[in-house]
Structure 1
Amino acid sequence: MPSTRKVALGAATAALLAGSAACGDAGGSGEGGGGQGSAAIDAVSLAAETTREVTSAEFVAIMRAPESMGGDMEMTGSMAWETELAMDLTVSGSVLEADPAAPEEVPVVWVDDVMYMELGEAFAAGSGGRTWVSFDPMALAEEIGDESVAGTMSFGLDSANQDPAQQLALLLESPEIELVGEETLDGAEVSHYRGTVTTEDALGSGGADFLTEEERARLVDAMSEQGIDGYRLDVWVDENDLPVRIHQTYSTDQGPVEYEVAYRDFGTEVVVETPPAEETIDFMQLLQQLRTGLEQG
């Protein structure tokens, strides 16, 4: 079933990008930016502290990436991140267009550190009628036999990296944070802040209450492996000191990446359920079938 395997691989790439795009969690405690006491740093610090009290939201995210990294995609859904990450979203975009059998939209569920993708009837035709595929990033990394891949994948997909408070924390690692200006966004008055965070900044210790030393080291390793020297972040904060939009741009060995996420309905109730087992096939099983098919072919 070569077509369905390509669909699964493409969808897995899309969902992985959804997580790794937020791999900018460099921490921050409200004392970042070299300890500067500017109004911009104070405002972002207050927003980070306010956002730490929130554990869920609805979101719309857009990623623009080179074709070699999967291409462009849009993600819409809701997520909760208080203890473990739980997400219910829909992925669409050119990242799914590599195979004509791929659906135009892929529902994705992330729960208990496992990602599930509903790939539709074309996929079910070659998977015993099962429309969902489960994907454990750590299991795949172990199968590949590359511990650095395992660390990068788990870090990119853990709850801290989907937490907007952590993205504000990353901005606080910037040596300089500027107030770009007061703007109107979706009819609301917001403050627009900007900063740049390099690998050296991420090596700092200003965000000890957000990151352990191990997590900080994994972040720097992930940046190095992808050829990322740093991030430029733009954050829009509303009158309630909550981030309503976060925009990241960075360069990788494969080209420039741009990621933007808009949040709304902070504190919304998020219920994420694991798909029925009888409707799900494990991604590792698909890989084994592919390996067997190649050996027999």
Structure 2
Amino acid sequence: MKVKYTAAWVGLTAAALAAATGCSSDPVRDTAQKAAEVADSSEKIMAALTRATDRTEQLGSAEVRMTTDVGTGTPVAMDGTYSWGDGYAFDVQMDTAAAQMQQLQDAPTMRVLFVDGAYYYDVDPQATGPLAGKEWMKVDSSAVFGEQGSQALSGSNGSPSASMKGLKYAKDVENLGSETVNGKTATHYRAVVDQERMGSLEDAFGGLTDSGATSITMDVWVDAEDLPVRMVQEFGAMKVSMDFAEFGRTVVVKAPPAAQTGDLTEALEEAGAAG
């Protein structure tokens, strides 16, 4: 009887152990499963961001409100049309005081054009100097960003479309859920480009590797039409925010007439060389 009892007890214990083992957590298996789930999620996020990037590139232009904060003063806001279908160009209104351009423009806002690699500022005609009697001030991007930075603005580089293209270099991506932005329901994605991959973004954001930033965090909100509603980029002390609307609006940005333009590129380059 004792032998039978012992055998029965061993049998029940073995059965219970087997059942418990079947329901218990296997660390190796769970880790592999979680890794697979993360990889699957990342693939879905990147697929969604790729669709948004392709759609943005295809439509070629948008109404954008862009705010740039370099961490040294009042953020500068520019509101208007950005085009990248045939080279990067824009036609925007900029806050005069935030850009510290009050000496050249009395109005609270200043019209700014960017076309063929040069900036054009709508200024008040000056009494003397290069801007005497001129309505526009021209500054080549090379005088602002140097030759390397200027090249980074060639083609569609530097445009909102280029910012979207930069998402493909992200190593860490996540879906932060649905939110309402500018009256639209959008999915909030976050992508982080680490220092190792930042060099790949030089064409879109010239000088990133010299900015002191160790990573770039890019938040983008994508609507049901696979288009960005908002994008926020942070690298180092700089933060750039863009709100998008009216994609695909046909626009051609033209440089002002030469007779109405004073070119300060050489003067600024000389001032820069002199320190």
- Identify the residue that residue 83 of structure 2 maps to in structure 1: 80
- Normalised TM-score (structure 1): 0.69
Write the deviation string for residues 119-150 of structure 1: whole angstroms up to 9, x where unpaired: 224x4555321121111123x37xxxxxx931
Q: Which runs of 5+ in 2 are unaligned?
A: 1-37
Cα deviation, residue 36, structure 1: 7.2
Q: 1:268 aligns with which of 244, 249, 254?
A: 249
**Which of 162, 185, 193 is the aligned partner of 2:189?**
193
Q: Could you tell me how far 1:153 is from its partner in structure 2?
A: 3.1
Q: How does 1:1-297 map to 2 (within 5 A)?
A: 37-67=42-72, 71-92=74-95, 94-97=97-100, 102-103=105-106, 104-121=108-125, 123=126, 126=129, 127-138=131-142, 140=143, 149-156=146-153, 158-164=155-161, 166-203=162-199, 222-251=207-236, 256-284=237-265, 286-287=267-268
Is the CA contact (8 Å cut-off) linking 1:231 and 1:249 kept in structure 2?
yes
Report which stretch shifted further, 195-204 or 260-269: 195-204
- Residues 45 and 218 (structure 1), Cα distance of their counterparts in 2 relative to 1, 3 Å cut: closer
Does the CA-based 8 Å contact 1:202-1:220 persist in structure 2? no
How far 1:181 moved relative to its partner? 1.0
How many Å apart are 1:88 and its aligned residue?
A: 0.7
- Report the secondary structure of 1:79's partner residue: strand
Count the aligned residue pairs.
234
How many Å apart are 1:66 and its aligned residue?
Answer: 2.6
**Could you give the per-residue CA deviations for residues 191-210 of structure 1, whole angstroms, max 9, x where no partner exists?**
11001112212356xxxxxx
Partner residue in 1 for 2:22 = none
- Partner Cα separation in structure 2 for residue 97 and residue 161 of structure 1: 23
**Cα separation, 2, equivalents of 1:229 and 1:64:** 18
Structure 1 Cα separation of the partners of residues 134 and 55 of structure 2: 43
CA RMSD in angstroms comes to 3.1
- Alignment deviations for residues 252-280 of structure 1 (CA, whole Å, 9 cap, x no partner): xxxx1111011111000113222121211
CA contact (8 A) 2:62 2:83 kept: yes
How many Å apart are 1:46 and its aligned residue? Answer: 1.8
Match of 1:8 in 2: none
Contact 2:192–2:217 (Cα < 8 Å) also in 1 = yes
**Distance verdict in 2 for CA 1:226–1:153, change over 3 Å:** farther
- Distance in structure 1 (CA, Å) of the matches to 2:88 and 2:60: 10
Aligned residues with identical type, % of pairs: 24
| Higher RCO, 1 vs 2 (CA within 8 Å, ≥6 residues apart) | 1
Matched position secondary structure for 1:38: helix
Q: Partners of 1:220 and 1:274 in 2: how far apart?
A: 24
Which residue of 2 is the match for residue 5 of structure 1?
none
TM normalised by structure 2 equals: 0.74
Relative to structure 1, is the Cα distance of residues 71 and 34 closer, same or farther in structure 2, using a 3 angstrom cutoff? farther
Determine if contact 2:113/2:120 at 8 Å carries over to the other structure.
Answer: yes
Please give the secondary structure, in 2, of the residue aligned with 1:170: helix
Contact 2:78-2:95 at 8 Å conserved across structures: yes
Distance of aligned partners of 1:289 and 1:151 in 2 relative to their CA distance in 1, 3 Å threshold: closer
Conservation of the 8 A alpha-carbon contact between 2:198 and 2:208: no
**CA displacement, residues 134-191 of structure 1 (integer Å, 9 cap, x when unaligned):** 11123x37xxxxxx93112331465222042x32332232222111110111221111
- Aligned equivalents of 1:95, 1:257: Cα separation in 2: 15
